[in-house]
Amino acid sequence: IIKTAEREENPPSITGTVIDITQVKKFDENNVPSEILVGSDEAGKGYALKAAINDYREFLISILEGKNPTAEESLRQTLNTDDGKNESGETEPWVNLMFQTMPVVGATALLSKIQVDVRNAETEVLNYLYTQIDASSFKFNKLSAIVIPDANYVTIGSNYTARVFLSATDTTQQPVITVGGEELPLDETGKGIYSVRPSSTGAKSWGGVISLKAPDGNIRDYPFSASYGVGEPNVICSPTAMNVMYYGIPNPLDVSVPGVSPDNIKIRVVNGTISTERVKNSRGENFRGSWSVRPSSERQNVQVIVSSTDASGKTISYAPYEFRVKAVPKPEARFGGKNSGTISRNLAVAQQGVFAVLPDFDFDLQWNVTGFTVLYSDKMGDFEEKSTSSNLTARQKELLGRLTKGKYLTIKDIKAMGPDKKPIDLSPIILQIE
């Protein structure tokens, strides 16, 4: 994902199997993860990942042989890949819910979490197997050191915490775990707790030795090693419809902080108000994003200021994001897809009404015509008929039926209303019948 996003075969952020997330240049790129993991026609690698998780989950469950229903249910929950509901309440595949429009740094964090979940599932099965053996002797032909970090990515100011333990333990004795010549404290199950607060960014490596007395009285040592990356605190903040904010309307906003629950994120805005109002497009669908911002003035940029609370209750503040403020352009009235030039008689009489559009405008807004007047002239004089909606009245359709080649159709006094609920006047439509 990182190589494709940065278009480099050997990006500086990757050293062997270690990723230095601080060196990722395209951390907020949200197309490549979707292309690789979701793809089209279920060709994305996320589907292979889902299949592998499902196969491994069933393999772990088969090891339990139906003797531990509680552990089986825990495995199904931990390695669950069922389809779910999206923000609109519609069912979506697990792969889409996990990775669709996910930025590079978010996809990396999610894949890291899946690794941790798999290791936790392995540990749960190993602990169960341990209870089934004679605790006085080693029945495994090989003992392996297990390292389970709470997270493989942390920020400065937060702790990197990991649990280090053997897959099979002797309940009559506890192991001795040393890191850097110092003995680690153990929890009630004999797992060593390693915690450090990094003071600099970059890839970090650490390791030690687990010592345990064997049945023959000899002390056996089992070395282990692990690595993690430390990056600057960062926040991902982007309008979900465009790269500017527009005055007079709610602008959808999606804000996330890697590794932080949305419940622990706080947002405030300079030159605007923020709310949890959901913004809909012209089709009535919600834009992505849990917040919306209404700029207070066109003459000043909007600042979005984000802070979060970590597990210890400490507040972390991030650099503000600035957005330019623009006015929403005036829409154009259209009749038969046109507002000037010529129109065939058949096309004109087939129309049902007048519509307002915003040509070449990226924000998908809905403008509704609330009234207009049809003007028709012939040798008998001028005839005007009004409509109080976007639809042609029966009388207006009758006037259109009189149109002949060379005559002019004029639609004037066009009124429209946008998302701000304020009425505006639109330019008239003048068309010649061809």
Q: Per-residue pLDDT tens for 411-423? A: 999 999 987 788 9
Give, to the nearest 10 degrees, the angle between helix 69-78 and helix 45-64: 170
What does the mean pLDDT of the chain come to?
85
Q: What is the mean pLDDT of residues 46-75?
A: 91
What's the distance, CA 81 to chain centroid? Answer: 18
Is pLDDT above 50 for 360?
A: yes
Helix orientation angle between 104-131 and 45-64, rounded to the nearest 10 degrees: 10
Q: State residue 279's pLDDT score.
A: 82
Average pLDDT over residues 15-44: 82
Supply the pLDDT for residue 346: 92
> b or e along 290-325 (b: 16 or more beta carbons within 10 Å of the residue's beta carbon)?
bbbbbbeeeeebbebbbebebeeeeebebebbebeb
Residues 141-151, mean pLDDT to the nearest whole number = 71
CATH architecture of 236-327: Sandwich (2.60)
pLDDT in tens, 191-235: 899 999 988 877 889 999 999 887 667 888 999 999 877 766 666
User: 238-264 pLDDT, tens per residue?
Assistant: 656 667 888 888 888 888 887 677 788
Find out if CATH 3.90.25.10 is the number for domain 136-232: no
Q: How far apart are CA 393 and CA 168, in angstroms?
A: 83
Q: What does the alpha-carbon distance between residue 99 and residue 113 come to, in Å, rounded to a whole number?
A: 13
Backbone angles phi, psi at 330, to 5 degrees: -75, 135
In angstroms, the Cα distances linking 23 to 157, 263, 317 are: 19, 28, 21
Same fold, 136-232 and 236-327: yes
Query: Whole-prediction pTM value?
Result: 0.43
> 186 pLDDT exceeds 80?
yes
Domain boundaries, the chain: 1-132, 136-232, 236-327, 332-433
The percent of residues above 90 in pLDDT, for the chain, comes to 38
Q: What is the pLDDT of residue 135?
A: 42
Q: What is the pLDDT of residues 365-403, one digit of tens each?
A: 788 999 999 998 877 778 899 999 999 999 999 999 988
Q: Smallest Cα–Cα separation from 248: which of 343, 351, 327, 356?
A: 327
Q: What's the confidence (pLDDT) of residue 430? A: 94
